[in-house]
Amino acid sequence: MYDYRMLIDGARVVGEDGHFDVINPATEVAFAQCTSCSLDQLDQAVNAAQAAFKGWQHSTHAYRRECLQLIADDIERDADGLARLIVAEQGKPLALAFSEVMGGVAWTRYAADLDIPVELVEDTLAHRIELHRKPLGVVASITPWNWPFMIAIWHIMPALRAGNCVISKPSSLTPLSTLRLVEIIARHVPRGVINIVTGERGLGGAISSHSGIHKIVFTGSTATGQRVMQAAAGNLKRLTLELGGNDAAIVLPGTPVETVAEDIFQAAFLNMGQTCAALKRLYVHESQYQAFADALVEIAGRQVIGDGLEADVNFGPVQNRDQLELVAELVDDARAQGGQVLCGGARLDRPGFFYPPTIVTGISDGHRLVDEEQFGPVLPLIAYRDEEDALRRANASEMGLGGSVWGLDPEQAQAFASRLESGVAWVNCHAQIQPNTPFGGSKMSGFGVEFGLEGLLECTGQQLLYVRKRETV
């Protein structure tokens, strides 16, 4: 069994707190071991990043740009191996894992090419005022298990491009592809600029409270994000928090079922529903309710469920047992409350954390499956009669990551979408993200943005440069 090690100050090191198993969710069998970081080793990683920052912060934009492009080249060369590692630890089908890796290449190249502007605020005979952006110092990246490689890219690459040094801490459920990513990065940046620590419970809290870390980028649950925020108060760390979502979609009356059903299904069941911005609540007008239910059930029946490395499989397992049990609990609760499970609705009788795509009707707001984020392969359909009421119910959630409106009239759909209380609103699509479009949540779904120039600037602090010009006689 391969033993994966951390990277601290340019050296691959064994953790001082033992090892933990990495489980393949398609088999429920450990296929690798990963090393556990001690608190002393975390200090070593932070010290290494602080030391490296003294030089890295002054590196030129051209040099950093070149480093990131070289990193992207190496990721692309190793794309197949990285994708297979993602399948083994996360469970998604190989084609989706390969897309995750190649998406990481595209995001890295985009970050490399971004310019960090100097804003001219005022220029008069008496003075010149400029707004400059400077790196913050040591940035910690804490990533989840659903898109382990891609989200690490989202966190790390803008931080490096801006001139920061990084401590990466992946989920203990899916640490391996991030470890491989950091090894690739370390080939092209000075020693200590990138470090990675791995471990199970407690390590994230130690990172959040560490006085030598200046910013945390965290993607995960709202409850954990709140703990990160509390722990970060000691030295007023900068925070970017992308937290839970319970994204609603409203289908307006008259929307052609045959035109949008496939897109709605894919938006809801992307990565087996394990995506923060996946479509998680579908509000459908009562006149089309049954037609949409029938169409989605038909699409669900066409999915090929199995190990992501098997030929033709396009629907993998839930990533871990705890999440599987939550999904099953929410579906069982909906059934007990009178909901109709039209397809799926039970764990498959085979090894692995397999739960088929599940469509549930006959429930509404107030049921757990609607009010809570299921983060798995289940979609509840909620009937509505009045469009304004549907909008009110969609906005009633304490979450506000994304949302969408679907309709035949784009102007009507856009007007409705603009009233969604969400960080992102889509029209006739959902969960569409790209490197140049800022992405972030509202309400309890977090704050701060990633992607685009706005996301890059969140990795910097601002300094106003006020220059009084020499007086002339």
- Reading the block at residue 51, the tokens are 């030391």
Is the Cβ–Cβ distance between 225 and 241 less than 8 Å?
yes
Residue 429 is among the residues annotated as catalytic for this protein: no
- Say if strands 238-242 and 399-400 run parallel, antiparallel, or are unpaired: unpaired
Rounded Cα distance between 365 and 310, Å, is 39
Phi/psi for 353 (5° steps) reads: -90, 60
DSSP string, 432-461: ---TTS-B--EETTEES-BSHHHHHHTTEE
Residue 233: CB atoms within 10 A of its CB come to 11
What Rg value do the Cα atoms of the chain yield, rounded?
A: 23
Other residues' Cβ atoms within 10 Å of the Cβ of residue 2: 9
Helix, strand, coil content of the chain in percent (nearest 5)? 40, 25, 35
3-state secondary structure of 213: coil
DSSP string, 221-239: -HHHHHHHHHHGGGGT-EE
Catalytic residue chosen out of the listed positions 37, 89, 100, 242: 242
Please list, in sequence order, all residues whose beta carbon lies within 8 angstroms of the beta carbon of residue 153, skipping any fewer than 6 positions away. 103, 104, 107, 108, 181
CA-to-CA distance for 86 and 99, rounded, in angstroms? 11
Angle in degrees, 0-180, between the axes of helices 176-186 and 148-161, rounded to the nearest 10: 30
Q: With contact defined as beta carbons under 8 Å apart, do 425 and 418 qualify?
A: yes
How far is 203 from 286, CA to CA, in rounded Å? 49
What's the length of the chain? 473
- Give Cβ neighbours of residue 66 (< 8 Å, ≥ 6 apart): 112
Tell me which of 34, 37, 165, 276 is the catalytic residue: 276
Q: Which of 368, 146, 444 is nearest to 270 (CA)?
A: 146
Which tokens go with 152? 């690490």
Residue 37 designated active-site:
no
What is the signed CA dihedral for 333, 335, 339, 341, rounded to 10 degrees? 120
Annotated active-site positions, please?
A: 242, 276
